[in-house]
Amino acid sequence: MTKQEELQRLFHRYQQEHGGVPETPYRVVEWALAQGLLEAPKLDPKAVLADDLARALREEYATDESGRRYRRNHAVRVTRNSVQFALWAEMENAPREHMQKAFQQRRQQIVGDCFQLKQDVDVYNNKHREMKQIPLVLDFTDDVAELEAADEDAA
C-alpha cells in the first residue's frame, strides 16, 4: 500500500468511526496519531524550507504598469532520472520557453480539474436522481470577464 493509499484508508476509517461528519485533515491526523495509526515523520529541514520557499514563490504577486495583478514567479514541472521537481523563474526574466511551458502546464491542470469536477457532479447527480440535479457550466468566459471588469473598477 502506498503512503497515499494508507492516508486515504485512515480518512475513511475516521469517517466510519465518526459518522461521516466533514472534518479537517489536521483533526484526522491528530486522531490517527493519538490512536497510534500514524507515526510523525522525521523531517528533512532542507525539504521543509524548500516547500516553504515554493509556497512563498507561488503566492507572490506584482502589479504591472496597467494596474493588472499577476503571479510573479512560475514553475515548470520536469522529470529527470525518474525524479519529478519544479524549476522556478521570475516572469520578468524567464526564457519564453519556460513561460510557455508553465502556462501550458497550468492550463492542463485547469482542464484536469474541470474534467474531474464534471465526473464528480455527474456521479453525484446519478446517485441522487430523486433530487434536483446540480448543474455544471464549464464555460468560464463570463466569469473571467466579470473578474476583469471588477479588477478594472478597483484600479
Query: Do 53 and 36 lie in a common domain?
Result: no
> How many beta carbons lie within 10 A of that of residue 31, not counting itself?
17
Query: Do 82 and 140 lie in a common domain?
Result: yes
| Of residues 85, 109, 82, 87, the one with CA closest to residue 97 | 87
Query: Do 93 and 144 lie in a common domain?
Result: yes
Q: pLDDT tens digits for 68-120?
A: 999 999 999 999 999 999 999 999 999 999 999 999 999 999 999 999 999 99
Query: Do 53 and 25 lie in a common domain?
Result: no
Domain count within the chain? 2
Query: Do 27 and 80 lie in a common domain?
Result: no
What's the angle, vertex CA 99, arms to CA 98 and CA 101, rounded to 5? 65
Q: What is the pLDDT of residue 151?
A: 78
**The domain containing residue 31 runs over which residues?**
1-42
Query: Do 48 and 115 lie in a common domain?
Result: yes
pTM comes to: 0.74
Q: What is the pLDDT of residue 1?
A: 84
* Residue bearing the bigger pLDDT, 153 or 17: 17
Band of residue 18 on the pLDDT scale cut at 50, 70, 90? very high
Query: Do 48 and 108 lie in a common domain?
Result: yes
Query: Do 78 and 5 lie in a common domain?
Result: no
- Cα 89 to Cα 73: distance, rounded to the nearest angstrom: 6
Query: Do 68 and 34 lie in a common domain?
Result: no
